[in-house]
Structure 1
Amino acid sequence: MAKRLKSVFTEDMEHCYFTGAPYPHIHHIFYGSRRKLSEKYGFVIPLAPYLHEFEKGSVHDNPNAGLDLKLKRMAQTYFEEHYGSREDFRQVFGKSWL
């Protein structure tokens, strides 16, 4: 059985956050070595497959820019509003995206 992830951005993990399309991929906003931190802080978001990884401009096609950068900034803003300072964010996630 797949792990049920929770997002701080939406309760509806069954539809793309941006388009409302069903059957989304669940994107970890901070991936790679920080994937578990994304899960801990709720920085996961449902994305239509083409926004996630299948098309030009998707978050994995265009890392640290475009939609990927927008999501990282959303997560950092949320962190700073709910958990700690910008320096706290840097200590946890390695750098500031704002």
Structure 2
Amino acid sequence: MKRLWSIFTEDMDHCYFTGANVVERHHVFYGMGGDKKKHCEEYGYVIPLRPDLHPNGVQATKYARTEVDLYLKQTCQKDFEEKHGTREDFVNIFGRSYL
């Protein structure tokens, strides 16, 4: 199994928000086309979430698909712009700006 890491936490076995031990590992940027999943793994934009908080998971709530999703995307974009490149670089890799 691939060893994932996260800018959010070192504990990939417990939900970042609740501490629950049943988690799905969410790639913050996802979708068709490009290498978004690969880039998420490269930059640490992966986070363990309880299934109902996983924005694109089967059990996702409306709160997860809106509030949680936007919070995670904005946090990752801020991290990228502070450590890795410009907003233009971010948009070229992940498709759009969330700030």
TM-score range, shorter chain: 0.7 to 0.9
Q: 1:96 maps to which residue? A: 97
Q: Which stretches in structure 1 are left out of the alignment for 5+ residues?
A: none
Q: What is the letter of the counterpart of residue 74 of structure 1?
A: T
Instruction: Give 1:58 shift.
Output: 5.5
The number of residues matched between the two structures is 93
1:28 aligns with 2:27: yes
Cα shift readout 1:8-33 (whole Å, capped 9, x = no counterpart)? 11101011000011121100000134
Letter of the 1:7 counterpart: S
Q: CA RMSD in A?
A: 1.4
Provide TM-score, normalisation by structure 1: 0.86
Gaps of 5+ in 2: none
TM-score, with normalisation over the residues of structure 2?
A: 0.85
Following TM superposition, where does structure 1 have runs of at least 4 consecutive aligned residues deviating by more than 3 angstroms? none
**Percent sequence identity over aligned pairs:** 53
